[in-house]
Structure 1
Amino acid sequence: MTTTIDKIAWIHLSGGRILGTRSRGNDVYYLPGGKREPGETDIDTLAREIMEELTVTIDRSTAAHLGTFQAQAHGKADGVLVRMTCYTADHDGTPTASNEIAEVAWLTYSDRDRVAAVDQIIFDHLHGDGRLT
């Protein structure tokens, strides 16, 4: 039986780099975002998670769906997949690590092996489009 973890992620690109986060105790980077809470829309989840992780406010009116990607969940048993629905959006504030985040980093395509499997697929997509160098 396959289990799917439903996550929402913020794609924040600047100068050919993408913003990544590493949670405390994790050995890989993830795109900022997280799991939906009951009753939340994608944009509700995006805004809440980004505020919690990076202390910035997402401009909901600018949120645009970039794509949905799926892969084996990092650190989970076989048959556990993560489906990542990705959005771009403008924001107010400077991304700063909250208590749950150990590190914020600007990553390039050369950092592909340092991110979770689903993020690697997203990196490939963005690199193929010329948005991630």
Structure 2
Amino acid sequence: MTEIIDKIAWIHIEDGRVLCARSKGKDTYYFPGGKREAGESDIDTLKREIEEELSVHIKEDTISHFGKFQAEAHGKGIGTIVNMSCYIADFEGELSPASEIEELAWLNYEKRDQVSKVSQIIFDRLFELGKLMK
């Protein structure tokens, strides 16, 4: 039986590198974001998760949908799939790791092997679009 994990992610790019986060005790980077709570919209989830993890506020009027990506979930059993809806948005505040986040990193395409499978697919797409530098 396939288990689906529904996640919302924030893609923030500066100077050809994308912001990624690493949780405490983990060795793999992910796009910031997380799972929705009961009754939450994608936008509500995005804003809440980014504030919890990175201590910044997403500017709602700048949010745009980047795409939906799917892959085998990292660190889960076989048959567990993650569906990730990705959004691009501006923010207010100073980025600072919070909650379960131990480290923030700005990764270019050459660091693709340091991210989860679904994140690798997103890295490929960003690189194809010329948004991520090698």
> Is 2:130 the counterpart of 1:100?
no
**1:100 shift after superposition:** 1.3
Give the number of equivalent residue pairs. 133
Partner Cα separation in structure 2 for residue 9 and residue 99 of structure 1:
16
Name the SS for the 1:99 alignment partner. coil
Counting only pairs closer than 5 Å after superposition, residues 5-24 of structure 1 correspond to structure 2 as: 5-24=5-24
Please tell me the residue identity of whatever aligns with 1:98: A
Q: Percent identity?
A: 58
Is there any run of 5+ residues in structure 1 with no aligned partner, and where?
none
> Is 2:115 the counterpart of 1:115?
yes
Superposition TM-score, scaled by structure 1 size: 0.99
Name the SS for the 1:5 alignment partner. strand
Is there any run of 5+ residues in structure 2 with no aligned partner, and where?
none
Partner Cα separation in structure 1 for residue 99 and residue 87 of structure 2:
23
> Is 2:97 the counterpart of 1:70?
no
- Root-mean-square deviation (CA, aligned residues, Å) is 0.6
Partner Cα separation in structure 1 for residue 76 and residue 101 of structure 2:
20
> Is 2:4 the counterpart of 1:4?
yes
Superposed structure 1 runs of 4+ greater than 3 Å apart: none
